[in-house]
Amino acid sequence: MRQIRREAYGEDIGQHSWVSADEVRADVARLQLSPTSSLIDLGCGPAGPLTFILSLVRCRGTGVEVSEAALRVARIRAKSLGVDVLLSLAQADLNDPLPFPAETFDAAISVDVVLHLGDRAKFLKEVARVLRPGGRFLFIDAGVLTGAMTNEEARRRSVHGATHFVPPGENETLLASHGLRLLETENRTAASVTNASGRLAALQAHRAELEPQLGTGLARQIEYLESVAELARREALSRIMYLAEKPASDVTT
Cα gap 15→2, rounded to integer Å: 10
Distance, in Å, from the CA atom of 145 to the CA atom of 114, rounded to the nearest integer, reads: 14
Task: Report the pLDDT value the prediction gives residue 168, as an integer from 0 to 100.
Answer: 97
Name the region of 78 (left: φ>0; alpha: ψ -120 to 50; beta: rest): alpha
Chain-centroid distance, C-alpha 82? 23
Computed over every residue of the chain, the mean pLDDT equals 93
pTM assigned to the model: 0.92
What residue spans define the domains of the chain? 2-145+161-189+237-245
Residue ranges of the alpha helices (H) in 31-97?
Answer: 48-57, 68-81
Q: How far apart are CA 119 and CA 139, in angstroms?
A: 15
Nearest to 245 by CA among 173, 138, 141: 138
- CATH dotted code for 2-145+161-189+237-245: 3.40.50.150
Q: Where is pLDDT greater, at 198 or 112?
A: 112
82-95: pLDDT as tens digits: 999 999 999 999 99
Q: Is the pLDDT of residue 250 over 70?
A: no
Whole-angstrom distance, CA of residue 222 vs CA of residue 43: 23
For 5-46, the pLDDT digits (tens) are 777 778 788 887 888 889 999 999 999 999 999 999 999 999
Q: What is the tens place of the pLDDT at every residue in 168-185? A: 999 999 999 999 999 999
Residue 251 has pLDDT above 80, yes or no: no
> Between the ranges 12-16, 148-152, 249-253, where is the mean pLDDT highest?
148-152
pLDDT band at 253 (very low <50, low <70, confident <90, very high): very low
